[in-house]
Amino acid sequence: MTAEPAVRVHRVYDGAPAAPGQVYLVERLWPRGLRRDQIAMDGWLKDAAPSTELRRWFAHDRVKWPEFRRRYAAELDANPQAWQLLLTAAGDVTLLYSAQDRDHNSAVALRAHILARRGASDGATN
Cα separations (Å) of 91 from 18, 94, 121? 15, 10, 16
| Averaged pLDDT, 95-103 | 97
Question: Who wins on pLDDT, 107 or 3?
Answer: 107
Question: Who wins on pLDDT, 64 or 87?
Answer: 64
| Averaged pLDDT, 23-34 | 97
Q: Are strands 22-25 and 7-11 parallel, antiparallel or unpaired?
A: unpaired
Q: What is the mean pLDDT of the chain?
A: 91
The pTM score is 0.90
Q: What is the pLDDT of residues 108-121, one digit of tens each?
A: 999 999 999 987 44
